Amino acid sequence: MPIRLLIASAHPIVRTALGRLLNGVRDFEVVAETDLSGLVKAAHGLSPEVFLVELTESGFVGLQVIGALMRATPEAPVVILSSNENASYVRSMLALGVRAYVLRSAGNAELYEAIRLAHRGRRYLDPRLSDSITDLLLGGGGAPIRTPHAKRLSGREAQVLKEIARGFTMKLIAKNLGVSEKTVQTYRERIYVKLQLRTRADLVHYAIAHGLLISLENVS
């Protein structure tokens, strides 16, 4: 049986091109093409076996999209196709549960391999990223990451920072922490002041830059 694929991209031309390419491969079947806003809804209706998500948006938008998808359908593997080579960003994607990360400069055969490996529950990392990702994985040696927030934020504030960066709503964070939404909002405002941030996007970029979305146990 062919692998059922759902293709998502903000660009119709890209979606169409990928659809034609992958439908021409014997063991692939594209069940739908959608924009990023319709990704979660399409996933529920079609139950694809692999998601192929093309991202050209900022790190903030990409993490939001993939975070929402992984929360909605954690059982289906996700393959990212992107031109973003930032090692911390890639690690953040892996920490969210992404199975494969392929650069847009890859050849067709590399994309096919990534999809097949993801379908089998294995990881694929574009070879052009291997050195930088390996350096990050080995550089920490399992030790706690020391970042500017470590001395400035309380333990609860640091926890809220990570939850916000992962895309959780104030309501969900409050539920997870067993506090009121107003309390979470207070923590958020303190974080903005202490780290000199102004917007949620600033907060997410900070989290990516300092590796706060990374859980080494998830990168295997």
Give me the mean pLDDT over the 175-201 stretch. Answer: 89
pLDDT tens sequence across 70-122: 888 888 899 999 988 877 788 788 878 899 999 999 999 999 999 999 999 99
Are both 171 and 134 inside the same structural domain? no
Domain final residue pick, 139, 170, 197: 139
Residue 189 lies in a domain: yes
Q: Which CATH number fits the domain that encloses residue 120? A: 3.40.50.2300
Residue 68 lies in a domain: yes
Overall pTM > 0.95: no
pLDDT tens sequence across 25-61: 999 999 999 999 888 888 887 889 999 999 986 566 7
Q: Which domain holds residue 127?
A: 3-139
CA distance 192 to 211: 18
CA distance 140 to 69: 29
Question: Among 19-33, 110-124, 159-173, 174-188, which is the least confidently predicted range?
Answer: 159-173
Domain final residue pick, 72, 104, 139: 139
pLDDT > 90 fraction of the chain, expressed in percent and rounded: 38
Question: Among 40-54, 58-72, 140-154, 189-203, which is the least confidently predicted range?
Answer: 140-154
Are both 123 and 187 inside the same structural domain? no
Q: What is the 3-state secondary structure (H, E, C) of the chain?
A: CCEEEEEECCCHHHHHHHHHHHHCCCCEEEEEEECHHHHHHHHHHHCCCEEEEEECCCHHHHHHHHHHHHHHCCCCCEEEEECCCCHHHHHHHHHHCCCEEEECCCCHHHHHHHHHHHHCCCCEECHHHHHHHHHHHHHHCCCCCCCCHHHHCCHHHHHHHHHHHCCCCHHHHHHHHCCCHHHHHHHHHHHHHHHCCCCHHHHHHHHHHCCCCCCHHHCC
